[in-house]
Amino acid sequence: MLFSVLTLLAASQALGAPSPPSSLLQSRLAGPAAYVTTSDLSHKLSAAAAPVQGRGTGGSSTWDLSIDDTASGHKQTLIGFGGSVTDATVTVMNALSADTRSQLIRQLLTSDGADFSFLRHTIASSDLSGPPAYTYDDAGGNADPGLVNFNLGDRGTAMAKMLAAFRGVKAGLTILGSPWSAPGWMKLNRVLTGNADNNSLDPQYYSQYAQLFVKYLQAYKNNGATIDAITLQNEPLNSQGNGHVTMYQSADEAAKVTQQYVGPALRSAGFNTRIWAYDHNTDQPNYPRTVVNGAGAYVDSAAWHCYATNLDWSVLTSFHNAYPDKHQYMTECWTSPQTPWYQSSKNTLGPLQNWAEGSLMWTLGTWTQASDGTFGPYIPGGCSTCRGLFTVDQAAGTYAFTIDYYILSQFSKFMPKGAVILSGTGSYSYGGYQGIQSVASLNPDGTRTVVIENTFGNDVYVTLTTKSGQTWSGNLLAESVTTWILP
């Protein structure tokens, strides 16, 4: 354990970053510690009273939790937490000075801050791109079956270079790429945006669609940005007109295209890039099953979003039970002044409790809020009120973190890549999402992390029992997310 901590410290010093707080290092080595973020941000990853051994003495509101920290309680292994790198993210980061941008990257990806280890990036335009919408082979709207017009363009190149900079700071970073649409000429309606009719791939271009992924992966690799995984289509059941960039893809088509075209094309080109199915909501759980059943040799994971009307993360457990050798991730959940303070914790806890190996918020960065209530950059018809985990004030040349950054950091900073989620009991939410939710991990250094969300408007004294025979207890502030680190 000492070696892993000192290695982390040496890495941060090599970046010219300040050392992690000595109190954190000592807590990892010597005893329990606690950190908390509250809904009013009076506490932001702040040190709190450490849990004590035994039941302790608390207030009038109490709650019991338990975890199985023996081998029988081991579940999935984490790859980490983070956000989506959109064109908006790249635009606002590049508006900062080089020194300020470097500082921000360290606070995102190292123990100086959130220590994110999992990112998703948009392959060409998304709803968080400035206009006009584009892909990497628009060819002026003309068919380009030879893909001779393939080009990352200014925005694609800027994206690749930003991801390369991230890789230069964070070893072991996992990057997922997701497209919002194929080029318009590859679709039956022959347009990129503006028409939801026949808004799907033209089968005569399945081969070109596969080769587009190959060329994209090669171009990013040439720019120093190796991509670990892809999904074939963001939200394949979301087909809209107006300016929003979308494309419909049925589960049967996704299975066929993956099995007969994209999977073989990637392997023939020498890429071991993973393919994840679906990338959409929990209310259509049969979609990724259809893809896995039809293309399981190439698909090793399912990706889920948080937008179902009746959100039910237990469908991930059902998927795991049916396909125990496949992985799962929560790959998109928006954050905004319109979302509750616990948006990033609720939609991380639920997936982790149900076999997800990572969680991503939408999006990583935007501008600060404009006078009309929008953020951006965004495309007409896109998400004008999506707010990043950080925002950039272009006039001042500064950035600021939002509550969603601090809440997500309660996980990412203390549950490292390689941590194993532990089974547990006691989490419960009443109507209106009032309650206590928790998840625990066994970390590579031998410590245990317990993240506990309290959505009650009052403090709660929690007692945690472990199957290994320990009891820990401590106070949770009202409307807070608290992280305990247990030796």
Catalytic residues: 235, 332
**Distance, CA of 12 to CA of 8 (rounded, Å):** 6
Question: Nearest 10 degrees: CA dihedral of 141, 143, 149, 152?
Answer: 60
Helix axes 22-30, 2-14, angle to 10 degrees: 160
* Cβ contact 169:110 at 8 Å: yes
**Distance, CA of 201 to CA of 249 (rounded, Å):** 7
The contacts of residue 8 (CB under 8 Å, 6+ apart) are 20, 111
Distances (CA, A) of 121 to 3, 166, 241, 286, 356: 33, 12, 23, 25, 19
What does the angle CA 292 – CA 296 – CA 298 come to, to the nearest 5 degrees?
A: 120
Query: Each residue of 91-124: b (16+ CB within 10 Å) or e?
Result: bbbebbeeeebbbbbbbbbbbbbbbbbbbbbbbb
**Distance, CA of 37 to CA of 93 (rounded, Å):** 25
**Distance, CA of 266 to CA of 235 (rounded, Å):** 22
* Cβ contact 88:377 at 8 Å: yes
Extract the tokens encoding 454: 């309290």
Residue with tokens 């190796």: 226
The contacts of residue 210 (CB under 8 Å, 6+ apart) are 257, 261, 262, 264, 265, 266
Cis peptide before 236 (omega within 30 of 0): no
**Distance, CA of 235 to CA of 239 (rounded, Å):** 8
